Amino acid sequence: MLNHHGDRMSPADDTKRSSDRESSPKSKGRNRERRPPRGPGLLWYMLVGLAISLLIASFVRAPTSDEIPYSELVRLVKQGAPEQNPDAAIELERTEMKTTLRVRYSNLRDIVIRPTEIVGKVDREILAPEDRKKGVETVSFRTARLGLNNDDNALLNLFLDNGFTNVRGGEPPSFWEEYGPQLLLLGLFVVVLFFLMRRVGGPGSAMAFGRSRGRMYAQEEIGVTFDDVAGVDEAVEEVREIVEFLKKPEKYQALGGRIPKGVLLVGPPGTGKTLLAKAIAGEAGVPFFSLSGSDFVEMFVGVGAARVRDMFQQAQQQAPCIVFIDELDALGKMRAPSVVSGQDEREQTLNALLVEMDGFSSNSGVIVIAATNRPETLDPALLRPGRFDRHILVDRPDIRGREAILKVHAKEVKLDPSVDLAKVAAMTPGFVGADLSNLINEAALLAARNNKEAVGMEELTEAIERVIAGLEKRKRVIGEEEKRRLAYHESGHALLAMCLPNTDPVHKVSIIPRGLQALGYTMQRPEGDRYLWTKAELESNIKVLLAGTVAEEMNCDDISTGAANDLDRATEIARRMVTEFGMSRLGPIVYRRASDTADGFPGFQTPLFSETTAREIDEEIRRIIRTALDDVRTILKKRAATLKAIAERLIEKEVIDQDELREIIDETTPGPTIVPGTEAAEPRSTTTDRQITRDDSEQLDAAEEENADRSETGEASENPPDQDARKLGE
């Protein structure tokens, strides 16, 4: 039990810490998911670069030779070969880089006549403009053959008649020389498009609208067996039948039996539901499909239903196998009434799941395992036999289960020989597997921070307080007046917890801020797991909650906002005592509110009792709180010296442990002192400090009944019931 200044955890709330991690550590190299394809490597960069190069070469050809018109080439040829007429030349105008050049061509040689063009070498000299002059340079030229002059013999005779003897005929380009680059470019585009469509069509991509996002784990990737699952022995025994069916289905089929189609794992977060499902697949040696209920939801209409159908199709292809759906409540919430039309897509997805679970036979080898921590929100049609036949509770572990889980997690850290895991398990009631895993990890980090060679009890104790209350904030500056108020507030909680029976022993009292809002806390630890609470225990816890406020009122002349959460929790306990537990003068009746509409869908809550009964409920809650306040005032007045001593020691040391707290109480209280319900005396239903006799109790009851009768007849009471109670308390 932990009592924050402004945030107290009470037993009636049954509020426990939880987390979303599993109950057992993952072994090294286990549970690896299939990795998505890696990014483009060197080969992809080469292919993309080649494609870009070919594209540029096809559409942006750089001029590698000078174009000479056919008529100008004939004029140059008719001037004679260079050997006969060295001065033979022509002058042309050409445009390069948006600049008009005056060019002189001469010394025509190395002529090749091709079917569609004439190529060769020629000397070029730029005459104008001045800034582009480079002198004489040798360049290649190209001349397209005209349609009327395609006679090779006549063209050859033209060159020979003018003295050109070095003239050759060229072969036409082959098919691959002419069309090869274009075909290669087209092929590259097809290959790139093929791989691109495969990548975008995978699970989780924007193009895979109707494909299931479930990830399949092969047997070697699961690596989890029942030996890795600790603290949930009853749940493990329940699912062993499923393993036997997957291993030896003929054993059940021969007798006409059928294995459940679906198994629903129900329990708080962090208790090991996912780990248990993986252990089933690991023991059975079958593939394991894992996905979340939210994976079926998409922005497009009809996608969820298509993914459900695709998931079951893939599962039947891999049968026998296990399909695990985590957070089933995201997919299988109760369907809305017909008047509500905003959830059609989600309902279609749920309908598809219902149909698919009815569609495959019980002997198909496909078993659906789902997990949720909100079974009350699931649709009844999903929970009926034939779909999820078996519901298995994966609850919080008891003290033996916590010890087993701690042993599993402790294998990964180096523990000091003095560590007692059984004691640690007793100090962590309500912890789930994920909390215990976090506890061991926090202790290991603290030991490493303190340069220790092994994790000891000191680190484990500090880790428990970190997990429960949060990080300690010693550097936060708190004024002296606020520090004094905090000391009296926490001293009131601690003193009442020590003096009253039926309360958990106090382990530590601190006024050092922790976490987000706790300025101080009183830590109470039960000595065992609790499943039931008696009326006396609930009354004692209400008094412990109210003690901080009364201590402030008596010693600081006023109360503060730090007790807001204490009052809230005390009122909630009193309300549940009256309306749910039958622990009040209204009798053993449950006053609950209607929360269902005619269609079975949660709607507005309406009370099932009259306004008069509601008024009586409120008055009974006030009576319980008022009586508790009177008792607390009586005890704190009687032990004012002890309260002051505890507060002064807190102001001085900021932290007091259990032994020091007992020492202070023994020194400042004459006669019998501590009456904790688990040590010095047997639990009792009334406090020894208040010393109210049976006659006083009967007198108080009579006074309240008399005032009630007077209120019904319109007469005013001379002393209200709270004043009568206060007089008796004094």
Query: Nearest 5°: CA angle at 700, between 695 and 706?
Result: 125
- 3-state DSSP call for residue 552? helix
Query: Nearest 5°: CA angle at 198, between 196 and 203?
Result: 120
State residue 596 phi and psi, 5-degree precision.
-125, 145
- Run of H or E residues at 239: helix 233-247
- 3-state DSSP call for residue 297? coil
Q: Are 493 and 544 in contact (CB under 8 A)?
A: yes
Radius of gyration for the chain, computed over Cα atoms and rounded to the nearest angstrom: 44
Q: Give the residues across from 216 on adjacent strands.
A: 289
Q: Annotate 559-570 with DSSP letters as a single string.
A: --GGGHHHHHHH
Q: Annotate 604-659 with DSSP letters as a single string.
A: EEEESS-HHHHHHHHHHHHHHHHHHHHHHHHHHHHTHHHHHHHHHHHHHHSEEEHH
**Residue carrying structure tokens 């503060």:** 560
CA dihedral 714, 715, 721, 726 (to 10 degrees): 150
Taking each helix axis as running N to C, give the angle between helix 457-469 and helix 433-449, from 0 to 180 degrees, rounded to the nearest 10.
120
Q: Tell me, letter by letter, the H, E, C secondary structure of 117-154.
A: EEEEEEEEEEEECHHHCCCEEEEEEEEECCHHHCCHHH
pLDDT, residue 550, reads 94
- 332 C-beta neighbours (distance < 10 Å), count: 27
- 730 C-beta neighbours (distance < 10 Å), count: 9
State residue 604 phi and psi, 5-degree precision.
-70, 140
Let me know how many helices (H) and strands (E) the chain has, helices first. Answer: 23, 19
Q: Which of 293, 299, 448 minimizes the C-alpha distance to 378?
A: 293
Q: What distance in Å separates the CA atoms of residue 347 and residue 336, rounded to the nearest whole number?
A: 8
What residues have CB less than 8 Å from 468, skipping those under 6 apart? 2, 17, 523
pLDDT, residue 677, reads 41
Tokens of 498: 């020590």
Q: Which of 421, 493, 497, 495 minimizes the C-alpha distance to 464?
A: 421
Tokens of 423: 């004691």
Q: What is the per-residue pLDDT across 252-304, written as a single tens digit (0 to 9) for each?
A: 778 877 777 889 999 998 888 888 988 888 888 888 888 887 777 665 566 77
Q: Which of 484, 31, 696, 321 minimizes the C-alpha distance to 313?
A: 321
**Residue carrying structure tokens 């709330």:** 13
- 3-state DSSP call for residue 378? strand
pLDDT, residue 575, reads 94
Q: Which residue segments constitute the domains of the chain, with CATH numbers given?
A: 64-177 (no CATH), 226-334+345-393 (3.40.50.300), 399-469 (1.10.8.60), 480-592+609-668 (1.20.58.760)
Instruction: Identify residue 133 by its one-letter amino acid code.
Output: K
Q: Is 671 left (phi over 0), alpha (psi -120 to 50) or beta?
A: left
Tokens of 113: 């006549």
**Residues of the chain falling short of pLDDT 70:** 1-64, 146-150, 171-174, 177-178, 196-222, 297-302, 336-345, 359-364, 474-475, 515-517, 593-606, 670-730
Tokens of 89: 């030349």
* Catalytic residue ranges: 490
Q: Which of 503, 511, 433, 440 minimizes the C-alpha distance to 469?
A: 511
pLDDT, residue 14, reads 43
Instruction: Identify residue 511 by its one-letter amino acid code.
Output: I
Q: Which of 240, 265, 304 minimizes the C-alpha distance to 22?
A: 265
Q: Which residues of 131-143 are buried (b: 16+ CB within 10 A; e: fewer)?
A: eeeeeeeeeebbb
pLDDT, residue 567, reads 93
